Amino acid sequence: MSADVVRTPGLQPKKVKRKLKFKQENVAPYVFVLPFIVSFLIFFLYPIISTGIMSFQEILGPEDVKFIGLKNYQNLLNEHFYNALWVTTKYTFWTILVLIPLPILIAVLLNSKMTKGSNFFRSAFFIPALTSVIIAGLFFRLAFGEQETTLLNSILGMFGVPPKVWLQGKNTAMFAMVLLCTWRWLGVNMIYFLSGLQGIPTEQYESASIDGANAWHKFISITVPGLKPVIIYVITISVYGGYSMFAESYTMFAGPRSPGDIGLTLVNYIYQQGFNENNLGAGSAVGITLLGIVMIVNLIQLTLTGFFKKESE
């Protein structure tokens, strides 16, 4: 009886306090991540599921929807889709080829103590990223116009080169789109690599100098390996950015259509099918296919760069 009396008034409140504290510690992390989970479910997972369902439907109106199986995917096997895939892949390839080494080089130069006014140049390179893509696209459209008085043709005319019709040729139109992408995103990638350079210990460069290594050997043996995680990240987001390119091409060619489809990207093709052709089912099929392509390309590049091997170790 005495044992029961001691247990009831003395120990019970402590157990309740511990239990409440234990529950609060378990619930708190979920409260903090709840905004992300809710936004992920509403703005990412639900649209993907909805788009996947629509890709198997023929949608002629809000009340006229019927399932047609894989017909939308079968209709993708046409020259317009193949051309859009080729243009988008080529655009992504060239933007990655330019926007990896060039920002690294600029970041290394601006990170050097010998460079004067580095803060000014960092801001100057980053300003294009703050510019509206519509304004930038209109400027490049005018700059690459076919008249003799346009910016590019005027510069070529100073060297006796005849004016070119830039936006009606495959190679010249691709050059214009890649140049626009480089102008806009060079500063952003430069900031990524500058942040990565801050994480490389200066002692490594000092040791290399003692061993007699020159600037090139330091760059190859220390800088590039030290920037590998940042390089993998930039390649990953560049693959997504390249395959999702829409506004630049749409603005430069004044719509989703371009001469000979030389500027037709996969997202432009989605716009054509979904809105111009009023075929939301076909547009959804292109969107799901694009999602699969981006995932496959990124999985391949992450495997080749050793990302998963590093994680497993």
State pLDDT tens for residues 42-71.
998 999 999 999 999 988 777 788 899 999
User: Which of these, 250, 205, 248, 236, lies nearest to 298 by C-alpha position?
Assistant: 236
The mean per-residue pLDDT over the stretch 278-290 comes to: 92
Q: Is residue 186 scored above 90 in pLDDT?
A: yes
In this predicted structure, what is the pLDDT of residue 255? 78
Higher pLDDT among residues 114 and 217, named by residue: 217
Looking at the chain, the whole-number percentage of residues with pLDDT higher than 70 is 91
Angle between helices 228-243 and 79-99 (to 10 degrees): 150
The mean per-residue pLDDT over the stretch 142-170 comes to: 89
Distance from CA of residue 115 to its chain's centroid?
30
* pTM of the full structure: 0.85
Report domain extents, the chain: 2-54, 71-312
Task: Give whole-number Cα distances, 124 to 131, 189, 193, 256, in Å.
Answer: 12, 13, 16, 31
Determine phi and psi for 60, rounding to 5 degrees. -100, -10
CATH number belonging to domain 71-312: 1.10.3720.10
| Rounded CA separation 187/130 (Å) | 10
Do the Cβ atoms of 301 and 236 come closer than 8 Å?
yes
In the block, tokens 């489809």 appear at 261
**Average pLDDT for the chain:** 86
